[in-house]
Structure 1
Amino acid sequence: MTFASPYVVAVNAPGVWVHELLSAEPFFPIADVVEEIAAVSQDTGVPLTAYARSTNGITSSLLLVRDPSRTHGTPGIADCERAAAALAARGTWLSRGQDARSCMLLALGLREGYDPAARVHSPDEVINRVLSKGQVWCGWPAELISARPQPDGPAQVYHEPGVLAFTDFDQMPTLAAIAHDLRQDRFVIHNWLTGWTTAFRRPAGPHGT
């Protein structure tokens, strides 16, 4: 998949896996969800990425996804399903199975870089930019959660506020430009249209920083 963008492909993995879960309670604090994702990742040995639809630090729905990584690899779909089952077995989440749509899902972080003290942009900055182009916005704010199991535990965890965009190929140049302006190092596209999951990164060198 190619489009006008200041980013390059970092990792491209065949297959799209997006597993939806709903909370067994009205809502859970994001901090509790982060801890639970980390525990399941460590217990199962499966690298996990989760997008928690967020409002004021709470969530009631979760998408588990595959995030291709040059460092940690890309977990197989069978392993991902095993991890999703382990999360549901804890009793706090109800599985709705795999999600499949006729579009692409883009997850975009809002923190500049990875320093917890760095500037965090608002979802409205993304949404308003899309709307100002006369384009349709379909998505919502989310906490982007990454957990990677470690040999001696606990899992390595990173999370930040972000947005999820359900989009198509024509909108990708706009979203990539927004990601660049918000100083995002990478983003991931789950493309149900092509059956591929792709991580994009800024290119090395002065023009990629």
Structure 2
Amino acid sequence: MTTSYCEVAAAQGAWMQALRLPVAAPVEQVRRALSEAARTSPVAAFLPGEADDPVEEVLLYRDPSRTYGTPDPSVCDTAVSALIAKTGWVAVASQVPGGVLVGLGLREGYDTGAAQHSPAEVTDHLRALSATGWSCRTARLVSARLVGRTVRWYAEDGVVVQAEPRLLLAVQAAALGCAQHWYVVTHLAAQRTYAVQRSGDGGSSG
């Protein structure tokens, strides 16, 4: 049987917001700001750059959850306004008004000792289908959610792909190649946000 992905959680609408930091900040400083924001609304974001590189941009999106649901775009807008007011970060326009936004981790599964793949493996899958219509940047994939009274923080090295919808099959091939259990697609063209899980994988990431 061919391994693929199936949709496991979804929400109408496709919300994303890029924020530019006036001055590059340490990852820990950004983590504190996002963790504080998560006390009022869950946070899912990409921080372009590698490992401990200073953060210059924060790309926020919605992460559909089977357990907690998905915040409405209006709730996300309110949370972003509060975050901007506290940090001085600046909202910038989306660069993929009619495309898709996908973040892929590079580690197989969630074990910190698992095999790690390279960004080049993802770009190879994209380039095999098309030489144009996409961008792929290294990024820290982060999320924060208030559970009880504690903010749960997760971070993983990966890539953020911004592409035309026709390249979703290449994104899936890259996810399979990197043995990803789960990823989220923000589909601006279709105005949908959905999470997919690798077929045959048990458990849940959301």
Q: TM-score, normalised on structure 2?
A: 0.87
Q: What is residue 160 of structure 1 aligned with on the other side?
A: 156
Q: CA, structure 1 residues 100+121, in 2 after alignment: closer, same or farther (shift >3 Å)?
A: closer
Alpha-carbon RMSD: 2.2
For structure 1, which runs of at least 5 residues remain unmatched after alignment? none
**Counterpart pick for 2:109 among 93, 101, 113:** 113
Q: Flag as ranges the 4+ runs of structure 1 deviating above 4 A.
A: 97-100
Does 2:81 correspond to 1:79?
A: no
Does 2:197 correspond to 1:201?
A: yes
Q: SS state of the match for residue 139, structure 1?
A: strand
Amino acid at match of 1:102: G
Contact 1:5–1:177 under 8 Å retained in 2: no
Contact 1:24–1:91 under 8 Å retained in 2: no
Q: SS state of the match for residue 90, structure 1?
A: helix
Distance 1:16 1:114 in 2: 27
Contact 2:181–2:201 under 8 Å retained in 1: no
Does 2:104 correspond to 1:123?
A: no
Does 2:14 correspond to 1:16?
A: yes
Contact 2:125–2:173 under 8 Å retained in 1: no
Percent of aligned positions with the same letter in both sequences? 30
Distance 1:47 1:115 in 2: 23
1:80-108 alpha-carbon deviations (Å, 9 max, x no partner): 11211121122242223666612111111
Q: Any residues of structure 2 matched to 1:59-74 within 5 Å, and which?
A: 59-74=55-70
Q: SS state of the match for residue 32, structure 1?
A: helix
Distance 2:189 2:18 in 1: 19
Q: What is residue 40 of structure 1 aligned with on the other side?
A: 37
Alpha-carbon deviation of 1:179?
0.4
Q: CA, structure 1 residues 29+198, in 2 after alignment: closer, same or farther (shift >3 Å)?
A: same
Q: What is residue 4 of structure 2 aligned with on the other side?
A: 6
Contact 2:142–2:156 under 8 Å retained in 1: yes
Alpha-carbon deviation of 1:148?
0.8
Q: CA, structure 1 residues 128+68, in 2 after alignment: closer, same or farther (shift >3 Å)?
A: same
Contact 1:53–1:61 under 8 Å retained in 2: yes
Does 2:125 correspond to 1:144?
A: no
Distance 1:52 1:184 in 2: 19
Q: Any residues of structure 2 matched to 1:180-191 within 5 Å, and which?
A: 180-191=176-187
Q: Which moved more, 1:93-102 or 1:5-14?
A: 93-102
Amino acid at match of 2:9: V
Distance 2:102 2:46 in 1: 11
Q: What is residue 28 of structure 1 aligned with on the other side?
A: 25
Q: CA, structure 1 residues 92+165, in 2 after alignment: closer, same or farther (shift >3 Å)?
A: same
For structure 2, which runs of at least 5 residues remain unmatched after alignment? none
Q: Which moved more, 1:13-22 or 1:168-177?
A: 168-177
Contact 2:42–2:146 under 8 Å retained in 1: yes
Contact 2:96–2:163 under 8 Å retained in 1: no
Q: How many residues align?
A: 199
Contact 2:17–2:93 under 8 Å retained in 1: yes
